Amino acid sequence: MTSLRALGRAGVAAGLAALLVGAAACGTAGPRSGGEPTGAASAWIISGVTEKAFTNSFDAWNAAHPDKTFAVQSFANDPYKQKIRTAVGAADAPTLIYGWGGGVLNSYVRAGSVDDLSDLAADPALADRFLPSIAAVGQIDGKTYAVPNNGVKPVMIYYNKDLFAQVGAQPPTTWGELMALVPRFQAAGIAPFTVAGQARWPLLPWFSYLVDRVGGPEVTDAIVANRPGAWSHPAVLRANTMIQELVDAGGFVNGFASIATDSGADTALLYTGRAAMSLGLPATYQNIQTGAPDFLAEGKLGWFPFPAVEGGAGDPANVVGNPSNFWSISATATPEEKQVARDYIKEELLGERYAADLLAVGNVPPVAGIDDEIAASSDPAYFRAVYDLAANAPHFQLSLDQALSPEQGDAVLTNLQQVFLGQITPEQFSDAMNATIAS
């Protein structure tokens, strides 16, 4: 594969042009109207702004390989997670399984639902393509079962610069400074934070960051390892207490429990001036790029890492989020389908055009040697911040709903939502989660 660094400005521009053409045309990879999608292999993807980069890739592949094509279907985030779990359990998964790594991938491996891709990952054509720290997330017990297919996704705080200027605020570097901003924004009639509580998972970064900042990554490591009583660690109790203190102080927009994220309703509150900040994945930037491009063009969006907690043991440079998304190959696919998927991964996955398309929609690909591409992008400062945050983090914690088993992931989302709504205490949260640990 030609070095991605050699792509330069011309490659990014070409990728953007291809993206626009692909968005305007009927995708060859999509399902056919009036029936089920057809093709030699299949893939399910998540709908939204990054969807364009995926469909461009599959469209280009199908056009160049008419004898080994993909049929692609897209789903909203939460419905997809339920649908893919059911499909994998029923041995009816698509050829390429879109995932996040962690406990869910581990459950697939233990059930024999996905193929070992170690030989493919070691292929010289692929081995040096991905950032090693990101590629490692697709490994279980030293073997590769998933390869990166999307941008790096560290969570950070996005803010409306105009609203900060209105109240004379600066980005907080400590939790105390963040809490001190709450009454200042409230006095100006501005919600300090927007969050999509309906989907539940956008609440997770608050918990994960606070646990890390208070107790360090060892606390979450013990949780993921299912050590008895791990959920009763003082850092867990303190994190949930701090969350409830923020909620009780009016830190979130009224009615946050009913706000959806798939429609971008949470992000819209940020760029329309109703909320000052949002703790989120790079999808926050992408939603603004789609819904309010002038907001970005005018330099009104700012960002900063999650603040330190005074007296906490965690390194403020630690990051939570999703290192990337990943492709696995279904063990129940036919040999012909598996070969199509392997050829696609080897020849197309995160290649020059693919990586350029990710940048064009606001996602930083987890590949080495993209300094020139970042410099030539539409927002070099933002993309560099995202790339460096992920690449330089001493510890990058995968979202707990993916790091844990599927059953525990559901339980932590349900119980955390109840913490935010004040329906259970921090102690009750810990008791409920400790009950999910197998004896």
Residue-by-residue DSSP string for 94-137: -SEEEE--HHHHHHHHHTT-B---HHHHTSHHHHTTB-HHHHGG
For residue 402, pLDDT beyond 80: yes
Cβ–Cβ < 8 Å for 198, 258: yes
Question: Can you give the C-alpha Rg of the chain in angstroms?
Answer: 21
Backbone angles phi, psi at 144, to 5 degrees: -90, 125
- What is the pLDDT averaged over residues 144-150? 97
- Kindly tell me if the per-residue pLDDT of 141 is higher than 60: yes
| Residues in the chain, total | 439
User: Is the pLDDT score of 3 beyond 70?
Assistant: no
CA dihedral sign, ordered 83, 88, 92, 94: positive
Which whole number is the average pLDDT over 419-435?
98
Question: Is-above-0.75 flag for pTM?
Answer: yes
**How far apart are alpha carbons 239 and 347 in whole angstroms?**
45
Q: Give mean pLDDT, residues 149-169.
A: 97
Contact between residue 293 and residue 286 where contact means Cβ atoms under 8 Å apart = no
Task: Tell the residue number behind the tokens 């030699």, with chain if given.
Answer: 40
Q: What is the pLDDT of residue 127?
A: 85
User: Is residue 31's pLDDT more than 60?
Assistant: no
The answer to whether the beta carbons of residues 327 and 147 sit under 8 Å apart is yes
Yes or no: say if 342 and 154 are a contact pair by the CB < 8 Å rule.
Answer: no
Model pLDDT for residues 100-125, shown as the tens digit of each residue = 999 899 999 999 999 999 999 999 88
Of the listed ranges 5-14, 90-99, 177-186, 250-259, the least confidently predicted one is 5-14
Phi, psi for residue 343 in degrees, rounded to 5: -65, -40
pLDDT of residue 23 exceeding 80, the answer is no
